[in-house]
Structure 1
Amino acid sequence: MFLLPEVTRKTSRGWRATAFAATAILAIAAQGGNSEVYAQMPGGAASKPQVGVIELQPQSVAITAKLSGRTVASIDAEVRPQVGGIIEERMFKEGSEVKAGDVLYRIDDDAYQASYDAAVATLRKAEAALPSAETKLQRYEELIGQNAVAKQDLDDARAALAQAKAEVASAKAAVETARINLDRTQIRAPISGRVEVSSLSVGALVTASQSDALTTIRQLDPINVDVTQSSTNLLNLRKAVREGRVKLSGDNVQVRLFLETGEEYPETGKLEFSEAYVDPTTGTYTLRAEFPNPDRLLLPGMYVQAVVEEGVAQNSFLLPQRAVSRNARGEPTGFFLGADGKVEQRVLKVEGNVGNNWLVTEGVSAGERLIVEGMLFVKAGGEAIGTLVTINATTGEVESHGDAVSNQGGKSN
């Protein structure tokens, strides 16, 4: 019963060795590394750790902003009656597509038809009196030269003709007014789009220009997307443009859309406008993009995320996120393998993320070798052996391993 402590003392060194090996294996797994290539365990033959590197080259990178917002119908039209009466018939199916000019409702038109007929009769009466007035004036003009009629009679004949013409014009206007009111008993769709539920049924009494709409028509193709952008990001973008680091995309700015489910919308939109006003409570302003919606997949009010191409950052570097960490001061840093085989840790200036990469504008230069695998086994000022690797652009993981690099920065033979 007293042998157990002694056995524990004799084997404590073995437990420590086992624990150290397990910790190293877990560290390799956390880095996504290949234990056979990058891990040199205690007792191994090599003294320099092997690391995976990529050679950095400048490129033009599209600057995008992922903004949240909601879909909005491109046109909303509330349908209201322009004349009063009883609804006799509803001519549409709720939720269907209608075209501009389609009849939606019919109002009882008996009174309006009677008014139109009366106006037409008045016009005919006025037109019938016009030839007589014209003939009388013509006769008096012939007789005035013979002094057969008084000049006052001639003036009265001219006034009678002018009054007859005015009565004809007034009657024509009354006919047109009656025709318009009669036509308005057929309530038509002002725009093409999807018609919503009807607020009134057949037999309901409506009045001209009432406050309650009969129904609403929404145009869904194309459809708008309203998103918000912070004024801080706008100022940063304009500063980058002034400094020449970013070139704006121009007037035809492309926009991609992601739905609530995370899937990308198949159609590409374009930026229509941005508000010239910043909300003082939120510090944001609104941008509107327009998207084709032929299948009516997008409905007003949906939550979406829009990716807006703001510009192009020229001569920039994309560094895999897996290769960038932060120092004790919170600054982004990366390990670089120099031409002499020594490791250097450097502070980077990160502008934002592009997929699985960081957009870095300062701290790197063309042709340098960035360590992307095996960072746990190196330290600043130490030495390492680099092997070129390929990074999967979609997953951000190491995809394949290539040749080892020499101390002069090229591949070894």
Structure 2
Amino acid sequence: MESLLTISILILKVAASSAWNYGGGMNMTTLLDSLLDDYDRRLRPGFGGPPLVVKTDILVRSMGPMSEKDMIYSMDCYFRQFWQDARLAFNATMQGISELSLSSRMLERIWYPDTFFLNGGRSYLHSITSPNKFFRLQSDGNIYFSQRLTIKAHCRMDLESFPMDTQKCPLRVGSFGYSHDDVIYIWRYGNKEAISIYPDVTMSQFDIIGLPANNASKYLKGAVHSILTVFFHMRRHTGYFLIQVYVPCCLLVVLSWVSFWINREATSDRIALGTTTILTMTFLALENRDDLPHVAYYTALDIYVVMCFLFVMASIVQFAAVHYFTKYSTDDREMMSDDSEGELEESYLTTSTTAGGGIFTEGGCNRCLQCLTKWGKCILDKRNRKFNKHVRNALGLNSVSKIDKVSRFLFPAAFIAINIFYWVTYLPS
């Protein structure tokens, strides 16, 4: 008899459990419908009472790119909000449920914060394969809402030290319509842990070196609003600019110094070398400037390019000085001396010929020998302006300009000194 009673009790328990599980879905649907029966989504939770506290945090999945020309940066992140709505509290302890993960369509039937990014640009919500939203309701009315966003925000950059600069790009979060008296925003885990970043997040242009955050009040639209701000403190990589700009500029300057070792009479060669380096420097300067905004001030990169441009220009001016002083100090004087010597030789030959009656008369051989000797000296005289310059080069008769000799040491020393001053000034400590 007792065994039969025990079996009957077990059968009743199993049947009751099956009936409860079968109707569980219907019971939860009924529960949610009952929560929304008298719910007015137009009113914020606690309307007429103290302001609602909305807790926020951000998980960054990726950063970049950043555009200096448009002064915009972008990031892919999970934007999370947490608040309490006592009107949605429920009791489902009989089923052991304290939290419900619901469809994002539930948001269309309840109130949720009208959060926006004050300095945001063309941001968007990811919707493949469905809207990337997550909605969770707890039994005490606490609501957890997460969504995946790509945020493009404006960042007013200071490019005076570009490309050795550091930037602090803000992201400001607040309510679009509710003032500080209705909605207050705070960082969920405090200012020090407002933003979290995936460990493998890297940027091609920058390193993230800090994430300071704060919450403050700001006067907007005729009322005081609660504003959350986080600063992405970033330091720029200089490797790209070293390869693309700095090293080519240095090589062009060094190439312009080759003219100091080219013969001063090779005018076309030295001018061609100087013109080529000038045009190449101009091309580098214009190409580099295309990717930067048209700011009213100069950047560190502009200073370096202009400095290199001036050194290349100085090498051409140096050759002009060499050419001018060489012609003035030697060629003009040589021209005068050669003309006078020519007149003397001509008069000597004329006198000798007329006086002796011919070079083959008596004493004519001696005079002819003297003429040939003086003619040979005239040919071998390196001051003769009519002598072939290529022959003089082959014989090593050309002298080196003192200006070239000084420039071979002065230009490199000045360039090295200016480079040391430049890098000490602009490299971040």
TM class by shorter-chain length? under 0.3
Q: Which has the higher contact order (CA 8 A, sep 6+)?
A: 1
Larger helix share, 1 or 2: 2
Question: Given the two structures, how large is their TM-score scaled by the length of structure 2?
Answer: 0.23
Question: Given the two structures, how large is their TM-score scaled by the length of structure 1?
Answer: 0.24
